[in-house]
Every structure is written in structure tokens, then in C-alpha cells.
Structure 1
Amino acid sequence: MQQMKKSLSKQQVVFHGYKKETELVTKLSFKIAEAIAENGKPYSDGEFIKNCVEIFIENVSPEEKNLVEQISLSRFTVARRIDDLSENIEVSLKDRMSKLSAFSIALDESTDLSDTAQLVVFIRGVTDNFEVTEEFSDMASMQSTKTGQNICEEVTKLMNNFEIDSSKFVGITTDGAPSMVGKNNEFVKRFLDVIETENVFVSHCIIHQESLCSKVLGFGEVMKSVVSTECEAARTRSVSAQDDRTYFLISSKTTTFSSFHFPSLESRKVQIQLFNCKKYVRTIEKLTLAFETRFEDFKKHKADVQLFAHPFDLVVENTRPSFQLEIIELQASVDLKRAYRENDLLTFYRSHVYGNYTNLENHARRMISLFGSTYCCEQFFSKMKLFETKCRNQLTDEHLSSQLRVATSSVKADIGKISGSRRYQTSHYSPTQ
């Protein structure tokens, strides 16, 4: 009996050692696949990486060669690993989304190498304790026509996939394309009809708006030259440029003007006297009008922005009744005034307002959840074009989406959990892979 116990004990030791080794091999396979995804490398690079590791091990630690040989890194395995990583991240994101108190979306579309329109949606949300999440949620290939109805269907499908409560929906930011913001049957109108949520902020990307405003000047070649100059030089000239713009405007309104309050102009007083500034006044006024027209929608939300960003400057009587008592109490606090001056808005609301002013907190969460632009989408498209090259034109939309999720998400996949739940698979290298 004693002999049988010893034999069983030895078998258990061998079994546990084998299990530990196989789990390590699987974990290494996932980690290398993750690195491939994050750097946008082809799946077939897995075998190349394995060969490099084998060369290293042979010369540094030959006794570990067998372990390296067991790591499965064929292109098919790498593809599955990245899909598993993406799925794990998506599950984590769903958990995060379920805790949001307010959220908004930003969406844009771009054409890939196969001339297929790819719709990308990002979600930005705020939890009850002011933790901010901004993540790529999903992408969809618009194989058919890019109408508001198609876009609405894809975004609705995404919302259902993440099981997000539409009553917490705050805002939509788009690139301003007709299919997005048309007045009749385009995306925004259709989507708002679907979710049936009131008081939704609808905005056109600020960066796009500014770009469109600049075009009214007709200074295309000049702007190219300005952009190509050194950033440091641009920063040092920023004050002077502001002085010049102000001088143009003021000089157009008065016949007597002193440059006393504009030091950079004062230093060039002789040059300015010989320079006819008035001919540029009309151009600047045209630019001002373009900004006022393009950003007309933001005026609708001026009161909401003021309430969030400048609560100590408000006239209590001019605010909504539901906020008045909290504003009075807030403005009476010397400590809160100091905290407001010394911190950014997110820190101020998270550390000093949270837990004491219910209505102001809820309003702040809504404002913090908003996107100012679709820059995150543009950045995503830049990375997508780096990943989807002419040499990888067979990459499916599903694999591309998985690889981009792993590469762009701030949420890391739980490789330990994934590798522990996956069946061990030894290397099965074939030259055709």
C-alpha cells in the first residue's frame, strides 16, 4: 500500500509539472500574439518570431529548447489567439459600460484598401464616481449604400451588443456628412427616434468645423507654408499673431489707435505705419462670420456649458430652478472656490463636488461624457491603414476588427484567464502556413 501511495504521489508531481509547462506554453503563445496585434504585424510573423527565439535559446539556454519548440505560433493559431484576446477585452468593456451613468458616441467612416466604407464607433462614458472611459466599441463594413438607415441599423446593433441603457445616452458627435446629419431621414434623426431619449447633444466635430472655416479665406498655399514651419517658431510668434489680428480689428473701427497695450506691435511701430492693415479687415470679418455660422449649434448649449465650466460666475436667478439651491451653497463655500481654481474640472467634480450636490453632479457627468471631436476615429483610421496594407489585402473585416481592438484598447486582456481555459495545443508548423 505504501508503495502504491509513493507511486501515485510521483505521478501527481509529473502531472502537475506537465500541466504547469503546458499552461506556460499557451500563455507565451498568447503574449506573442498580443505583441503581433499591437504592432500591426502579419499573423505569419509568429513563426519568424519563434525561429528567432529558438536561435536565442540554443545559444543561451539549450535546456529550454524543448519548451520553445512546443509554442504554437502558426498564422492560424495567431489569428485565433488575437480573436480570443479581442473577445476577452470586449467582455471587460461590456462590464465597464454597464457601470456608466452617462455616455456619448463619436462615429465616422472611411474607405479601406478594398474601397469598402468602414464605420467606426467610439464610446465615451462616466461612472457614478467620475471615472472616465473612452474606447473603440466596434467597426462595421458598409457593403451596401451608406444611407442614414444603414448607419442607424449598425449603431443600434452595437448598442444592443453592449447592452447599454439608452436612457443614459447624452450625445452624438459626427463628421457632419449629409448621411449623418441630414434633416429628414439621415442617421441622427433616425437614431434619436429609435432610442427615444430626450435632451441629446448633437454636434459636428470641432476640428472639421475649424477646417471648413479656414477655407473661406482662400489662403490654401499660405496655410501649407505656415503648417510646415517649426512648431517652436509658431509658438514664439503666437502672441505677435494675436496682436496683429486684434490690431486689424481695432484699427478698422477707430481712426485713432495706440499700440501701447500691444508690445510686439510697439517694437515694430515703424513697419506697421507703412503697412496697410485695413485691406485684411474684410478677410478677418469673413472668417469671424464663418465661425459664428458654423458653431451656431453650440449656442443652444451655452447655458449647459456655463453651468458645468463656470459655476461660480453664474447669476443664480438666471439658472434653472433645480440648480439654484446647490449653486447658492456652492458659491458660498470658500474651500470649493479654492479647489475650483487649483484643479481641472474633472478633479474638481470628482474630489470636491461628488456626494454633496446631486443635480450638479449629474449635469457634470453628462458634460464630461461628451466628445468634442471625432479625432479618436481619425486616429483609428490612421492605424487601420497601417495594419491593412497591400500585402495583407486578404485580411477579413472580423480579424481586422479584433487586431485593432487589441492594439487600441486601454483595457488589457486577461491572458492568464484565457490561457487557463484554452485546450493545450502543440506546435504544428507547416511550410505552407
Structure 2
Amino acid sequence: MLIANKFKPYDDGTWAKEILVKAAEKLAPKSVHLFQKLSLSRPTVCERIQEMGQDIEDNLKKRAGKFVNFSLCLDETTDIKNIAQLAIFFRGITSDFHIEENLLSLESIHGTTRGEDLLQKLLQALGKFNLPLDKLCGVATDGAPAMVGKHKGLVSLLKKEMGAKGIRHDGLVFCHILCAKSVKFDHVISVVTDCINFIKKRDLNNRIFKQVLKDFDADYDDLLYYCAVRWTSCGNMLRRFNSLLPEIIEFRNLKKCPLTEIEDENWLCDLGFMVDFTKYLNELNVQLQGPNQLLHTMFSKIKSFMSLLSLWENQLKDNKHNPTSCTQYALECSSLLESFKARFQDIKSKQLELDIFSIPFNVTPGAPSELQLELIKLQSDDALKAMYLNKPLLEFYRVYFTKEEFPNLRAFALKWLSVFGSTYLCEQFFSKLNITKSRYRSRLTDENLSMQLRVATSSVRPNIERLVKRKNFQKSH
């Protein structure tokens, strides 16, 4: 399918079929006749993708009907044709603790991307899958104003929509991705990016620089570009730039274009601070990535990093060697700490509930009244405590929390197990979107793009046998 989609609009897939037949002659000579019957024309490939995508979608709708709780993960980007693409993922859980993470919908937005526009697309997607708002437990978004604006952001409008329908939203969990862009060291980033562009944008300069690296036996063979959209690339770029600084200085001197900033001690200190600071941010980001992560695990890592920020702030304030720089760095730590607190204040306000879910045997008094009796019963059972210490949390709740013995705690656990902790799925999805809708395939329709990505990203496999039975065999031209 990928091969066929690279041909010109008038191509009937004949050349792609010849390639497959030749490959089959080498790899599976007994099955060559099957490959000779394939049709790889554009309309055929497009139709097959549509049918597989629809089959996956129908399967997901059936599964969504069994959810007792679900949460949403949303993010928005712009594709190569400047069309806004809103990716919506759901994380649902059934009464027997089966968790499903999958793409709910990819919504193409050709007009404005205000909060009300995003809400309209979201409600359409939920209606399509028959997911009621009264089962919604949490929403994870990025920090864009259209998402988290106080009055007209998606989150605020969603609360109003739920209130208008008489659905309580005070128990919803809202969280946003990290906010590293609050670190303001533009005078460092601008110099580094200008220097990298000077070297890498000119082929001759890049070849000479690579030879310098080879002569100096450097740790790296080239520099990295900085992508402002993916802020985690900043740390990798700065770290490599700092490591190759002697070679960069030598190259700039060869080109009679010296890097004057290296004579500024304060600038070099700022560069070193940014290298170390972004390194820790990148490490935190990597820890928060990955599917099927539970919220309490991710939030514990965030709290740990916030404690580090507070520690660094105090240490920098007490440093007397370079009071001007240290004061500035302390302010940056304080600013980022405040950004973290703002982003995760909703989760922080539900810390007691999160503790009841994650450490039920150690929770302090103050639990909701409907859970207190069951918590006392649970904490008095030494056998269950042993199981809790030796089993993954999901398995512990699934196996040992029965409806008859712990009905309220079981329902409580189902809610928190369904909550997203980050927008990792959206970020991963956008990488595949950029590959699918590239400058070579920029004329994909919205529906075709959505179906291609559903087939490419879904953990649910289409029922090929059922789809084949619906077809009448026609020999390819």
C-alpha cells in the first residue's frame, strides 16, 4: 500500500505489482500466483484502507459501549497544508479492569481553532462513539490558550457544557503537559541556533566542519538542528553544541568569523546553566513517555522534579561566588516551579484521592465517608497487604477487589485507572501524521487521512477474513 501510494495519479499499480512479484519469487516462490492476483491501483488501495479503518472504528464503538469510565487526551497541530488537525484519544476501562487506549477521532479544522470550535469537534466525536459525558473522568491537554483559557478555553467550555446538562464536573481531573518554554534564555538560544545554521545550511561549511571534527577526534560527527515545536530537542542541541565548542571555535576562526560570545564569561555561564537545566527537563520528559502509564506514578516523578527545583533555587540564592548570575538562575528555577504548580494544581488538589488509590494501606484520615468503612476493612487484612506489595497495582485491583466486598473502592479505582497523565499519545501520533501527510502526499482528503492513521496507529486489528468474504474476485489489469 505504501509503495502504491507513491505513484502518480494515473498509475494503475502495475509497477508496484511487478516489484512484489519479483520479491515473492525470491522469498515465497510457492505463493507467487497469489501476488500476481493483487490489485495495487490507487482507487483499490484507498478503498481497502477505508474499509479496514471503518472495521476498526466499528469494533472500537462496540468496545466503548462497555466502558464504565473514560478519559480524553487532546492536542492540536498544523499539517503541511496548514490545516489544523485535532487529535483526540480515549482511555476507557471496563468493569473487569480492561483498559483500552486508542484514537477516538482525528478532526480536520479548516476555519478558526478557538475553544468553541474544538469543543464542537470533541462533542461530535463523543456522539459518534456514544460516549456520554457523565462517564468522563479526566482530560489531558497541552497548555495552549484555546485549550486551557480561563473563560473561552476548551476545558472551561467543557465544564459549562456538562453543567448545562446537569452533570457534575468537580470530580474531573485536568492536567497539562510540561511548560519548559517558560525558561527564558533567548540570548543563548539565538546565538547557538545562528551558529548551527551558519555551519549546516551551507554544504561547504558543513563538510569543512565535519573534517575539523574528524581531525580533533571529537565525540560527535555533526551538530543538531533546533526544532522550536519539539522543545525537548533544545537540550540535545545545547549539550552537543557545548561538547563541540572547541571545534566550533576552531572552525569559526578558519572562516575568519570568530564567535565573539566565548569571550563573555557571563554568556558561557548561561550556556552551561541551560545545558544542565534542559538535561534534567529532558530526562523528566522521557520518564513521562510511554503508553498505559498510571497517573500517580507520573505525578510522583513530577513532584520529585518540583522538589529539585526548590532545592536548586535555595542553593543558588545562598551561593556567594557569583551573586548576579546565581540570582538570575534562582529566578528561573522559581519561575519554572510556579509554572509546574499552575499546570498541576488540579491534580495537587486531589492528592488525597490519589493517595487512597495508589497507597490505600498508608492513607491518612480524611478519606470520603463512603470509602472509610472499606478502607478500615482493607487495612486490617494482612493477606491483602502482602498481595498489594507483590502485585502490580492494576492486577491487585482487578483480582482482589470484588463488587461484593469492596464496591465503593472498586468504583473509585476504576475512575483513577482511566485517567490520562500526559499527551504522549498525541505527540507520538503527530509524528506519524507528518510521515503520512508529507510533501509527497499532501493532497490526501480529510477522511482518507483519518482512516490511514487509524489503521496505522490502532491496537485493534481489522478482521481481514470478514472483509475478504464481502469481495468478489476480479483479476488485476
Conservation of the 8 A alpha-carbon contact between 1:171 and 1:201: yes
Pairing 1:118–2:85 present:
yes
1:119 aligned counterpart, secondary structure: strand
Distance 1:129 1:245 in 2: 40
Aligned-pair CA distance for 1:366: 1.0
- SS of 1:379's partner is helix
Match of 2:399 in 1: 351
Contact between 1:216 and 1:290, CA under 8 Å: does it hold in 2? no
What is the distance in 2 between the residues matched to 1:216 and 1:297? 29
SS in 2 for 1:383: helix
Larger radius of gyration: 1
Q: Is 2:142 the partner of 1:175?
A: yes
1:129/1:354 contact within 8 Å kept: no
Distance 1:288 1:374 in 2: 20
C-alpha RMSD of matched pairs (Å): 3.6
Pairing partner for 2:355 from 306, 325, 332: 306
For each residue in 1:181-203, what CA deviation from the matched residue of structure 2 results, as whole angstroms up to 9, or x when unmatched? 22323322333333433135252
Distance in 1 separating the partners of 2:26 and 2:392: 54
Cα offset, 1:92, TM superposition: 0.8
- Answer yes or no: is 1:198 the counterpart of 2:168: yes
Does residue 290 of structure 2 align to residue 320 of structure 1? no
Question: Given the two structures, how large is their TM-score scaled by the length of structure 1?
Answer: 0.74
Q: Is residue 386 of structure 2 the alignment partner of residue 338 of structure 1?
A: yes
Q: Is the 8 A contact 1:152 1:191 kept in 2?
A: yes
Cα distance in 1, alignment partners of residues 306 and 63 from structure 2: 44
Within the candidate set 401, 406, 422, 2:455 is matched to 406
Question: Is the CA contact (8 Å cut-off) linking 1:119 and 1:141 kept in structure 2?
Answer: yes
Distance, in Å, in 1 between the alignment partners of 2:27 and 2:420 is 51
Matching residue of 1:365: 414
Q: Does 1:130 align with 2:80?
A: no
- The answer as to 2:346 corresponding to 1:297 is yes
Q: Are residues 59 and 371 of structure 1, via their aligned partners in 2, closer, same or farther at CA, if it must alter by over 3 Å? A: closer
Distance 1:292 1:57 in 2: 58
SS in 1 for 2:440: helix
Q: CA deviation at 1:362?
A: 1.1
User: 1:329 is matched by which residue type in structure 2?
Assistant: K
User: 5+ residue gaps in structure 1?
Assistant: 1-32, 255-271, 429-433
**Of 139, 154, 159, which aligns to 2:126?**
159
Partner deviation per Cα, 1:83-130 (whole Å, 9 max, x = no partner): 000000001101111111100111111111111111110001111111
SS of alignment partner, residue 363 of structure 1: helix
CA offsets 1:1-51 (integer angstroms, 9 cap, x no match): xxxxxxxxxxxxxxxxxxxxxxxxxxxxxxxx4xx4xx9964779544421
Cα pair distance change 1:42/1:414, threshold 3 Å: farther
User: Are residues 389 and 249 of structure 1, via their aligned partners in 2, closer, same or farther at CA, if it must alter by over 3 Å?
Assistant: closer
**Cα distance change on mapping 1:275 and 1:131 into 2, 3 Å:** same
Question: Aligned partners of 2:396, 2:49: CA distance in 1, in Å?
Answer: 39
Contact 1:54–1:68 (8 Å) recurs in 2? yes
Amino acid across the alignment from 1:201: L
Letter of the 1:95 counterpart: K
2:178 aligned with 1:208: yes
The secondary structure found in structure 1 opposite 2:137 is: strand
Report deviation, 1:414. 0.5
Matched letter for residue 203 of structure 1: F
Contact 2:96 2:398 in 1 (8 A): yes
> What is residue 266 of structure 1 aligned with on the other side?
none
Provide the secondary structure at the position in 1 that maps to 2:396. Answer: helix
Q: 2:433 aligns with which of 384, 390, 394?
A: 384
Instruction: Give SS of 2:68's match.
Output: strand
Partner in structure 1 of residue 106 of structure 2: 139
Deviations 1:217-270 (A, max 9, x none): 99757945565599xxx79x99xx99997875676799xxxxxxxxxxxxxxxx
Q: Structure 2 counterpart of 1:406, which letter?
A: V
Shift of 1:64: 6.0
Output the TM-score relative to the length of structure 2.
0.67
Range that drifts further, 401-410 or 48-57: 48-57
Structure 1 residues 294 and 164, CA, compared in 2 at 3 Å: closer, same or farther?
closer
Aligned mates of 1:40, 1:389 — CA distance in 2: 15
Alignment partners' CA distance in 2, 1:104 and 1:226: 36
Task: Check the 8 A contact 2:139/2:173 in 1, yes or no.
Answer: yes
Report the count of equivalent residues: 366
Identity %: 32
State the partner residue of 2:216. none
